Amino acid sequence: MNRNQFRFLSILAIGLVGFFHACGVADKPTQSEQQPISQPSITEKKWPYQFLESKTEQTGHNNVMDLYAFSGKFDLDELKAFCLDRKQKSTAKVFYYVVIFDNAANASFPSSPFTAKFGLEENTAKHIRAIYEYNQLNGFSELEYHDKNIWENIPNREKI
């Protein structure tokens, strides 16, 4: 390959990267293993929900989703208090989600943008016990929880 061909291919590659970036292809959410939005202090209440992972979408409004695991029976008042606690500590610019799975081994992030939740991801949905959604812009705050999972049960909803 001569020098001119190399320059042409370099310019073409840079142009393609710019094109994909402009189309949003290069801006797919990246997974980051980080702590929940804020670490509990020593005086803070200990919740029964096991923190697993947090992810921030790198496109749009940097929506945040935190994954937890809990296999016991939900205490609705405690679950609502937990969601309110997480809401108050959220640094998400628009949407913040808490997703509680039946077991840590079954937890995963949705393959679609967070606002689509888990759509038709049946294998994942069969292990989700609760989803809390908070919209910072309009104040929407709702907990959706299930006796078994979101795939097989009619949801119970609570405005928080």
Task: Please count the CA atoms within 13 angstroms of the CA of 137 that sit on its side-chain side.
Answer: 5
Q: Is the pLDDT of residue 134 over 50?
A: yes
Phi/psi of residue 46, nearest 5 degrees: -90, 120
- If you search the block for the tokens 């290069």, which residue do you land on? 26
69-110 pLDDT per residue, tens: 999 999 999 999 999 999 999 989 899 999 999 999 999 998
pLDDT tens digit sequence for 5-32: 544 444 444 444 344 344 444 444 444 4
Model pTM?
Answer: 0.71
Q: What is the pLDDT of residue 8?
A: 44
Please state, in angstroms and rounded to a whole number, the distance separating the CA atoms of residues 61 and 73: 34
pLDDT at residue 98, rounded to an integer: 97
Burial of 102 (0-12, 13-18, 19+ CB in 10 A): middle
Q: What is the Cα–Cα distance from 34 to 16, expressed in whole angstroms?
A: 31
